[in-house]
Homo-oligomer: A and B are copies of this chain.
Amino acid sequence: MSTEDSVYAVILAGGSGTRFWPLSRELSPKQMLTVFGHESLIAQAIRRVDDFVGPGDVVVVTNERLFDELRNHLSSQADPRMRQARYLVEPLPRNTAPAIAYAAATLALDDPEAVMIVLPSDHLLERDGVWNSCVASAIAAARDGYLVTIGITSTRPEVGYGYIQAGEAMPEYARGGAVPHVATRFVEKPDLAIAESLLAAGGYLWNAGIFVMSASRVLEELDAHVDTAPIADTARWLAAEQAAGRCDGDEARRRFGEITSISVDHAIMERSDRVAVIPSALNWSDVGSLLALGDVLPADDAGVVRVGRGVDLDTRDTIVYSTDRLVATLGLNDMLVIDTADATLVASKDRAQDVRLVVEALALAGAEEVVQPKVSLRPWGSWTSLLKGPGFQIKLLEIHSGAKPSLQRHHHRSEHWIVVAGTALVTRGDERFEVHVNESAYIPVGAEHRIENCGKVPLKVIEVQLGEYLGEDDIVRLEDDWDRKD
């Protein structure tokens, strides 16, 4: 199947997902988690539409805080769709309508026919033949001006999701069994009684936040209402500024601050008379809390889900997830034990939704473990903090074959490099020399330097930094393959 012309993926990736701490961090949010499959959730989202969207036609909408981390994450993937993703950085978070408007205005500048497949970056969806039929059908309807959403057949009276009522069928857009219907009603997250009545009534689908719509139609719908017209105007202004290579961040933040913070459901879907929904029986989850680990991982006879080394004695109905370390449990019931290299959470299962309160309390206490993961992704690979001591710090650098971190120097620290795997090409001042396994190099304070993986296997280097100041911001980048300034 070849990709379709003028079809773009718009990945909404501004969420922080604090309910997944300590697996997620501010700078490594839920969408970057790889615990729900072989790839991260955002990589799964991008791959989900690769039958429709070509390399270079993936747009990731995010915010300033996450931009670097997402780019580091996606640019280290093998798939060209991910490496070539375009990034739209929202000046301020204003909910989904402004984010989608920004993408629509940007795409419409170059391609008036642009159709966007809008996907959350942090959901799970089992991809099968049904999915592709839904997308193909949605694109057909969207090309005719419909604002299309793909709805999930409800299987329980769920109070955590919104619902969409499907009306009359539109067989002219049917593809491989997927049939758009006129969407007749949107219902916000209901209480249990209402959820039960919706399930009993039939014809109500879960709103999975998946939209297929033409960029120009999105802007047109926003233009049509007094409260949302400024969203379209601001999106067009920002897209034009970006296209012109201008970027006055303060002005952009000012303008974004003035528009309404509103969801695409409220701003467009509930107001338009050309909305369609495609009922699908897809296996979908919004991955709302750490309990989702229990949905995707197998449990033993005692109901224990266990990942990582350790034992569970007389423990029942408990999730034990460890990324690195040994974790043992004894006599637990209905608990969550989530263990990472630098932080552990132990919670009662029925409090899974309140993990965000733990994160808030830790943030107030200044715990850097809510911000930064222990392994920090970079476009060239990653570094892992092994030890911080008075006046020194140790990192493990892992550098992809052919990659090179920036040519740089430091004002306050010298660095010792010991190659433990692979071969490095080191630049130090005017010198260039190879450093092989079991060899070392010393970079004095102030010296211009660069390390490059000139070999065919991953390069692993132990870096011992010494200095009076060891902050990440003591770096002057002189050349960088990713145009990073700091």
Residues of A bordering B, CB below 8 Å: 22, 309-311, 313-314, 322, 325-332, 335, 337, 339, 342-348, 350-351, 354-355, 357-358, 361-362, 365, 367, 369, 386-387, 389-392, 394, 396, 414, 416, 418, 420-421, 437-438, 440, 442, 460, 462, 464, 466
Partner of A328, one of B309, B322, B345: B345
- A-B pairs, 9 with minimum CB distance: A331-B348, A330-B347, A392-B420, A331-B351, A326-B343, A311-B361, A326-B369, A438-B466, A418-B464
A362-B310, A464-B418 given as contacts; is B438 within 8 A of A440 (CB)?
no
A-B CB contact pairs (8 Å), 24 listed: A22-B326, A311-B362, A326-B344, A326-B369, A327-B343, A327-B346, A328-B344, A328-B345, A330-B354, A330-B357, A331-B350, A331-B351, A332-B335, A344-B344, A386-B386, A389-B396, A389-B421, A389-B460, A392-B462, A394-B394, A414-B438, A420-B464, A420-B466, A462-B464
Partner of A344, one of B325, B332, B348: B325
> Chain B: which residue is nearest A314 at the CB level?
B351
Overall SS of chain A's interface: strand
Partner of A331, one of B339, B347, B418, B437: B347
Q: What B residues does A369 contact at CB under 8 A? A: 326
Partner of A332, one of B343, B348, B418: B348
> Chain B: which residue is nearest A350 at the CB level?
B331
Q: Is the CB of A329 within 8 A of B346?
A: yes
Known A326-B342, A331-B354, A392-B421; further 18 A-B contacts with Cβ < 8 A: A22-B328, A322-B344, A326-B344, A326-B362, A327-B343, A328-B358, A328-B361, A328-B362, A329-B345, A331-B348, A331-B350, A332-B347, A337-B346, A346-B346, A390-B421, A391-B420, A420-B464, A440-B440
Q: What B residues does A392 contact at CB under 8 A? A: 420-421, 460, 462
How far apart sit A282 and B177, CA to CA, in the bound complex (Å)? 82
Q: Is the CB of A313 within 8 A of B354?
A: yes
How far apart sit A348 and B313, CA to CA, in the bound complex (Å)? 11
Partner of A358, one of B313, B437, B460: B313
| A178 → B minimal CB distance (Å) | 42
Q: What B residues does A328 contact at CB under 8 A? A: 22, 343-346, 358, 361-362
How far apart sit A438 and B327, CA to CA, in the bound complex (Å)? 37
How far apart sit A462 and B387, CA to CA, in the bound complex (Å)? 10
Q: What B residues does A351 contact at CB under 8 A? A: 314, 330-331
| A269 → B minimal CB distance (Å) | 35
How far apart sit A396 and B387, CA to CA, in the bound complex (Å)? 9
Q: Is the CB of A311 within 8 A of B365?
A: yes
How far apart sit A98 and B91, CA to CA, in the bound complex (Å)? 77
Q: What B residues does A386 contact at CB under 8 A? A: 386-387, 394
Q: Is the CB of B367 within 8 A of A309?
A: yes
Q: What B residues does A354 contact at CB under 8 A? A: 313, 330-331
How far apart sit A150 and B396, CA to CA, in the bound complex (Å)? 56
How far apart sit A462 and B415, CA to CA, in the bound complex (Å)? 13
How far apart sit A265 and B436, CA to CA, in the bound complex (Å)? 65
| A451 → B minimal CB distance (Å) | 16
How far apart sit A175 and B80, CA to CA, in the bound complex (Å)? 87
Q: What B residues does A347 contact at CB under 8 A? A: 329-332
Q: What B residues does A462 contact at CB under 8 A? A: 392, 394, 464
Q: What B residues does A311 contact at CB under 8 A? A: 358, 361-362, 365
How far apart sit A464 and B466, CA to CA, in the bound complex (Å)? 16
Q: What B residues does A442 contact at CB under 8 A? A: 440
Q: What B residues does A466 contact at CB under 8 A? A: 420, 437-438
| A307 → B minimal CB distance (Å) | 14
Q: What B residues does A396 contact at CB under 8 A? A: 387, 389
A311-B362, A420-B389 given as contacts; is B344 within 8 A of A330 (CB)?
no
Q: What B residues does A414 contact at CB under 8 A? A: 438
Q: What B residues does A325 contact at CB under 8 A? A: 342-344
Q: Is the CB of A416 within 8 A of B440?
A: yes
Q: What B residues does A342 contact at CB under 8 A? A: 325-326
How far apart sit A466 and B327, CA to CA, in the bound complex (Å)? 29
Q: Is the CB of B327 within 8 A of A344?
A: yes
